[in-house]
Homo-oligomer: A and B are copies of this chain.
């Protein structure tokens, strides 16, 4: 039993974390898979995926702001496009994520939300999913 899906995401600023937890819950539900793994893959080199607190939006704001200090946007980079910092954040946050599925639901902690991380927006993005 397998389920493939591509989710379209529109981002509206340079750095933005889009909460995709609801969409992913719906997809798992639609797949009919009760016990398995939900693989998420981000096909972009200036975006990432993460799981973090979704209750207080200040958490995401703090993460975005501190990452901008650690990987400054302007820092005499070689890459001509000028978005090297976004590429760095992409590698730090990672491209793939595996979520356990039990009783037809994602196994997530109380405070956890799944986020698509935009690091060079605004753009139209895709998120690939395969539930097995």
- Residues on A lying within 8 angstroms of B by beta carbon are 2, 4, 35-37, 39, 41, 43-45, 50-53, 56, 58-59, 61-63, 66-67, 70-71, 75, 77-81, 84-85, 87-88, 90-100, 102, 107-109, 111-112, 126, 128, 130, 132
Residue pairs across A and B with Cβ atoms less than 8 A apart, 26 shown, are A4-B35, A36-B132, A39-B98, A41-B98, A41-B100, A41-B107, A43-B108, A43-B112, A44-B109, A44-B111, A45-B51, A50-B91, A52-B90, A52-B91, A56-B80, A58-B78, A58-B79, A59-B87, A66-B71, A66-B77, A66-B84, A94-B94, A95-B97, A95-B112, A100-B128, A107-B128
Q: Is the CB of A45 within 8 A of B53?
A: yes
Q: A70 vs B111: C-alpha distance in the bound complex, in angstroms?
A: 24
Q: A96 vs B97: C-alpha distance in the bound complex, in angstroms?
A: 6
Given A92-B92, A95-B51: A78 in contact with B66 (beta carbons within 8 A): no
A123 nearest CB across to chain B (Å): 12
Q: A70 vs B92: C-alpha distance in the bound complex, in angstroms?
A: 12
Q: A92 vs B66: C-alpha distance in the bound complex, in angstroms?
A: 12
Q: A61 vs B78: C-alpha distance in the bound complex, in angstroms?
A: 8
Please give 20 more A-B residue pairs, beta carbons under 8 A apart, in addition to A59-B84, A100-B128: A4-B35, A4-B100, A36-B132, A37-B39, A37-B132, A41-B107, A43-B108, A43-B112, A50-B91, A51-B96, A52-B90, A58-B80, A59-B79, A62-B88, A63-B87, A66-B84, A66-B85, A92-B92, A94-B94, A96-B97
